[in-house]
Amino acid sequence: MALKLGASSYSWQDEYYTGKMSLEDCISNLHSIGGTGFELIPEQMLPENNFMKLSDSFVDQWYSWMDKYQMTPTCCDIFDDYNLYRNRTLTVTEQLELIEHYLKVAQRLGFYCVRVLCRTPIEVLEAALPLGEYYGIKLGLEIHAPLSMHSDWADRWREMVAKSGTKYAGFIPDFGIFSKRPYTVSLAKAIRLGANPQILEYILEEYKKRAKYFSESNERREMLDSGFLDSGAFGMAEVVEEVKRMGGGPLEINVAMSRYSYDNPKWLVENMPLLIHTHAKFYDMQPDGLGGFTDPNIDTETVVKVMRDGGYNGYFSSEYEGHGYARDPGCDYVPDGRDQVRMHHAMIRKAWEEQ
């Protein structure tokens, strides 16, 4: 199996936001570093009203870029703005209409899969399964931290997909579920804003204990309740209590309650037939001291090897999330998504090629 490398438009979000890069610049940059798969957040970079109504001229332009830069459209990211109105939540039918709209956009632009947000209600997911079949586009439910491959939530989707018999549904793991530690960039930002480094050190150690415990145990996690993404499902809620006793406030609590968790990468093997695509989330590429690069935050190298040995046939789609930790006015470091993705790809290539 050959390695397939791509990246998400998310990786160049600040460069685009501030007008330094256009959509074409993102695609050409990815091509220039050897990437062949482009993932798009449609409401992020489709020009003007094209998310609502694709124009023929834009669609022509898109395919001319795909040809020129030898790029494959991989994944189109679906969102679920179910709170569109202030006075009520969208009905299941309305949420399905929204999903169908994204599928039409994805189909016209040639994407073969979509990312379905992990917070999408279970009854909407079930009703969406036939749409994937109809449009011939795979629905990839995102496993986003602190959700786990080993959870009742993931089981529900596995059962639904198996029962339907569809080949157009599976998972997209977000590599935040392989977080080795509270993120370096998150701690650096908290310290700039005045957090207590000793409390952060305590959070770091407690996180590492839980990462080790959860990755080695077969404990199933209950994650079907609606608050699961913010509830410290990774056992960090008790850490927050101690942080408060230590005198910590919102800055430290925010670090303790971040959306990170650690699943054992080996669990990917049993899910291999369902793995459609990846969000190779990362935060902070650094020299590894051996002439290459590594992100100390995410266990990407292990994941890449497990997936390679398991016969994974999809893309590693780099998703750089470091920008968001460098926007506080006191931060003089300006991340460059182009450099970050280049180093991330170099790391993945090296991991893929070595034993």
Q: Which residues bind another protein (CB under 8 A)?
A: 10, 13-14, 16-19, 41, 43-45, 47-49, 51-52, 79-86, 117-119, 229-230, 324, 327-329, 331
User: Toward another protein, which CB reaches closer, 90 or 351?
Assistant: 90
User: Toward another protein, which CB reaches closer, 187 or 346?
Assistant: 187
Instruction: Identify the three-state secondary structure at position 104.
Output: helix
* Rounded CA separation 155/187 (Å): 34
Contacts of residue 324, defined as CB under 8 A and 6 or more positions apart, other chains included, come to none
Instruction: Identify the three-state secondary structure at position 169.
Output: strand
CB of 308 to another protein, least distance (A): 30
CB of 218 to another protein, least distance (A): 28
CB of 131 to another protein, least distance (A): 19
User: Toward another protein, which CB reaches closer, 41 or 303?
Assistant: 41
User: Toward another protein, which CB reaches closer, 16 or 202?
Assistant: 16
Work out the end-to-end distance of the chain between its first and last CA atoms, rounded to an integer number of angstroms: 15
Query: Does 146 sit behind a cis peptide bond, omega within 30 degrees of 0 on the bond before it?
Result: yes
User: Toward another protein, which CB reaches closer, 44 or 61?
Assistant: 44
Evaluate whether 284 touches 184 at the Cβ level (below 8 Å): yes
Contacts of residue 333, defined as CB under 8 A and 6 or more positions apart, other chains included, come to 326
CB of 199 to another protein, least distance (A): 20
User: Toward another protein, which CB reaches closer, 45 or 274?
Assistant: 45
CB of 14 to another protein, least distance (A): 7
CB of 85 to another protein, least distance (A): 7
CB atoms within 10 A of CB 295: 27
User: Toward another protein, which CB reaches closer, 129 or 147?
Assistant: 147
User: In a 10 Å sphere around its CB, with 0-12 CB exposed, 13-18 middle and 19+ buried, how is residue 88 labelled?
Assistant: exposed
Q: Where are the beta strands (DSSP E) in 121-192?
A: 138-143, 169-173
Evaluate whether 38 touches 71 at the Cβ level (below 8 Å): yes
Structure token digits, residue 192: 């700039």
User: Toward another protein, which CB reaches closer, 82 or 207?
Assistant: 82
Evaluate whether 79 touches 42 at the Cβ level (below 8 Å): no
Q: Which residue is it, tokens 């003007």? A: 48
CB of 284 to another protein, least distance (A): 18
* Rounded CA separation 139/114 (Å): 5
C-alpha distance from residue 273 to each of 88, 130, 266, 306, 343 (Å): 38, 19, 14, 14, 29
Q: How many helices (H) and strands (E) does the chain have?
A: 14, 10
CB of 1 to another protein, least distance (A): 32
CB of 220 to another protein, least distance (A): 23
User: Toward another protein, which CB reaches closer, 31 or 119?
Assistant: 119
